[in-house]
Every structure is written in C-alpha cells, then in structure tokens.
Amino acid sequence: MNVTNLFALHGKSALVTGASSGIGKHVALAYAQAGAAVAITARRHEPLQEVAAEIVAGGGKAIPITCDVTQAEQVAPMLKRADDELGGIDIAVCNAGIINFNGLLDMPLEEFQRIQNTNVNGVFLTAQAAAKAMVARQRAGSIITTASMSGHIINTPQPVGHYCTSKAAVIHLTKAMAMEFAPHNIRVNSVSPGYILTELVEPYAEYHAKWEPKIPLGRLGRPEELVGVYLYLASDASSYMTGSDLVVDGGYTCW
C-alpha cells in the first residue's frame, strides 16, 4: 500500500457546486491538483470561468457549467453534461449554499424557504442526480455535502435560525442518503465547517471580533484549511467511511 496513492485522484472525475468562490473554489483547485478532471458549477458565469482558467493554467481539466442548483430543470442537464464530457462522475461535492442574518420572529415564509431551497433542496437535487449517474454506469462513488457547525449548534449573536435549520437538515439528509446509496457502493459524507473567512462571511466583519474569543484556536479558519478533509472523503483513503459528518471549526463546538 502506498499512502500517497491513497489520497491521489488520478483518473477520477469530480463535480463541485458553488465553485465560483470560497470553499467550492478551493476544493475544485485541490481536486485538480490531485489529478482529477473537474466539472465546476455556480450561478455566476464570469467567476466560474476564472476558476476554470486557473485550473487549466495549472495543467488540469475543468468544465465550467452555469447552473442554479435549486432548479431541477437545470440540475439534470448540468449533471448529464458533466457525466458525458468527463466519461462518468466519481466524486460529487454538493457545496452551494447561502446565508443572511435575519431573525425568525419577523421572517417572511418566503425568506425562510429561500435559504432551505438552496441549502437543502440544492444538495438533494445535485446528490440525487449524481447518484443516478453513478448507478447508471454501475460506478462506485463518493458524494460529499457541505453542512456546517451550525447544524450542531445555534450561532450567536447573529440571528441565523433559518441557516442552522438548513444545515441540520443537510447532515441528516447525508446520513439518509448514505444508508440508501450504500448497496450501490456510493459513499455519502458531510463536512461541517466553522467560521471560515470566505466571501460569504467577509461582509459580516463587525461580528468577527465577537466570534474569535469563542474559538479555541483564536481565529477564523481559511478555505484552504478545509481542502484536506474534502480530499480525504473523495479519495480511497476514506473507502470504509460513509454517513459521517466531519466538523472543522477550530474547536468552536467543544464548548
């Protein structure tokens, strides 16, 4: 057994949603560096093209596909194109997600549903489509969802009850899919990041100083500090792992 080979993705194909920035972008770049051909998707066309160009410049293969993962009529053709052009999908990272800081007391139903639609429905639609493609090709695979420590705790002082709800749902959905997809040799696991300094978090700078004293490591994390976990779950190194949630939060949830 060669340990380096366990973590390599040579000859494999991956799909990463929400890949135009933040965690998704760093995961896509890491997968390409590890040897995988990568299909990347997001709603924003231009940033997606820039990520694809960066992957190609590094010697990798990237297929950018603009897609709104909340729309089933967009997810199905997106997945088909990725599957066709890559010759099958081995890894699917369901990462697209959104957040805002609005309290539940006066929240309109439409706002609550908007968060669930992207963070939960988008994960379901993407994972389901990826699993169907894997089953059709009788191909073992790994599906990875991006949950959050917010699926385990309620963040304070910011009001994000709708977001916490969505991420708790992702964790449990991941476990349900792991059970149902196991007979097809498809593994499903989730990653639960803590406070990571991405484009999603940067606009809330006034909260950073309030969060850091509660983080045992004393700082927010960086997106590149998550890629090792995503690489592990995508690779053969995690071949006996399914239905698990890996928390990477600087110790925040230890309190």
Domain boundaries, the chain: 3-248
Instruction: Name beta bridge partners: 247.
Output: 192
**From first to last of its 255 residues, what are the pLDDT tens digits of the chain?**
789 999 999 999 999 999 999 999 999 999 999 999 999 999 999 999 999 999 999 999 999 999 999 999 999 999 999 999 999 999 999 999 999 999 999 999 999 999 999 999 999 999 999 999 999 999 999 999 999 999 999 999 999 999 999 999 999 999 999 999 999 999 999 999 999 999 888 888 899 999 999 999 999 999 999 999 999 999 999 999 999 999 999 999 998
Residue 230 annotated as catalytic: no
Question: Which is the catalytic residue, given 12, 13, 163, 192?
Answer: 163
**What's the pLDDT score for residue 211?**
96
238 vs 3, 27, 228, 233, 241, CA distance in Å?
A: 12, 17, 12, 5, 5
The Cα–Cα gap between 168 and 225 comes to 22
Task: Supply 37's token pair.
Answer: 């051909």
Residue 167 annotated as catalytic: yes
What is the residue type of 52?
A: A
Give the chain's count of helices (H) and strands (E): 9, 7
Residue 175 annotated as catalytic: no
Domain 3-248 belongs to what architecture?
A: 3-Layer(aba) Sandwich (3.40)
- Evaluate whether 5 touches 15 at the Cβ level (below 8 Å): no
Question: Which is the catalytic residue, given 12, 20, 142, 167?
Answer: 167
Looking up tokens 């539940």 gives 104
**What's the pLDDT score for residue 32?**
98
What is the residue type of 197?
A: L
The Cα–Cα gap between 122 and 142 comes to 17
| Residues with Cβ within 8 Å of residue 247, at least 6 apart in sequence | 149, 152, 192, 194, 253
Interior CA angle at 134 toward 186 and 116, to 5°? 75
Question: Which is the catalytic residue, given 20, 21, 142, 148?
Answer: 148
What is the Cβ-side half-sphere exposure of residue 106, based on CA atoms within 13 angstroms?
2
- Evaluate whether 41 touches 65 at the Cβ level (below 8 Å): yes
**What's the pLDDT score for residue 200?**
82
Task: Supply 42's token pair.
Answer: 């997001």
Looking up tokens 């997606």 gives 48
The Cα–Cα gap between 134 and 127 comes to 10
- Evaluate whether 134 touches 185 at the Cβ level (below 8 Å): no
